[in-house]
């Protein structure tokens, strides 16, 4: 408790020293966030920045009690299906070619990467269930190494074989939700994703052009 009180006092003093009047006012409530962006539902956590050396960005599947850090993005009302798609090789391929960069590392964007990502077209209940099952296996594999951070678990040199296997199974389930034929290369995946993106957005651009002519 003394340690906690010391931290609270530290927050108060930091706010009092701010040059922003609005921040100074918040010194009277040092236990509250000045900007509360905490999701009110379970959510997917996506680090804004991640090493390009990782095969997968260490995306989290969080409860509403888990505090969201300001260095991360959140996707509320998340399900295992959403988590499975976003932590798959298919989504990672999109990230590699679409996202911004900090030097050479990934810089995930909700507007550029997430909003434009082409999700599977009309997946069947069986396919959705397969993805959810495989996604849960990824989470279960992480729990086997609960003393390790996600940073360690997703380091190419220290990623446990059990976690790698779980991700490989998830990748297969996600791929099948896109098409029955296997993807033979990263370039093959990107061609498919861009074609799917064009299909999803074709009517949108047609409607926009129609409005302008009127």
125, 126, 128, 131 alpha-carbon torsion, rounded to 10°? 170
Nearest-angstrom CA–CA distance, 33 and 136: 32
Of 34, 35, 45, nearest to 68 (Cα)?
45
Distance, CA of 153 to CA of 23 (rounded, Å): 38
Q: What is the pLDDT of residue 188?
A: 96
pLDDT at residue 37 tops 90: no
Region 63-91: mean pLDDT is 86
Q: Model pTM?
A: 0.79
Q: Is 72 exposed, middle or buried (0-12, 13-18, 19+ CB in 10 A)?
A: middle
* pLDDT for position 36: 56
Residue count of the chain = 214
Residues paired with 76 in a beta bridge = 43
Which three-class secondary structure state does DSSP give residue 44?
strand
pLDDT tens-digit readout, 157-178: 999 999 999 999 999 999 999 9
What pLDDT is attached to residue 209? 59
Name the pairing type of β-strands 49-50 and 105-107.
antiparallel
Task: Return the domain boundaries, the chain.
Answer: 37-213
């Amino acid at each position: 408790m003394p340690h906690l009180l010391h931290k609270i006092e530290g927050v108060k003093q930091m706010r009092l020293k701010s040059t922003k009047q609005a921040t100074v006012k918040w010194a009277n409530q040092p236990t509250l966030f000045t900007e509360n962006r905490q999701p009110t539902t379970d959510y997917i956590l996506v680090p804004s920045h991640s090493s390009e050396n990782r095969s997968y960005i260490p995306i989290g599947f969080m409860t509403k009690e888990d505090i969201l850090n300001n260095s991360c993005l959140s996707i509320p009302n998340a399900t295992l299906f959403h988590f499975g798609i976003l932590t798959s090789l298919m989504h990672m391929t999109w990230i590699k070619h679409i996202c911004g960069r900090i030097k050479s590392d990934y810089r995930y964007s909700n507007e550029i990467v997430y909003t434009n990502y082409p999700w599977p077209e009309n997946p069947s209940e069986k396919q959705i269930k397969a993805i959810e099952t495989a996604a849960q296996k990824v989470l279960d594999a992480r729990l086997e190494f609960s003393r390790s951070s996600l940073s360690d678990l997703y380091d190419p040199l220290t990623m446990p074989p059990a976690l790698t296997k779980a991700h490989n199974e998830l990748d297969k389930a996600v791929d099948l939700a896109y098409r029955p034929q296997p993807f033979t290369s990263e370039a093959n995946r990107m061609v498919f994703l861009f074609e799917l993106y064009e299909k999803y957005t074709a009517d949108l651009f047609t409607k926009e052009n129609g409005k302008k002519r009127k």
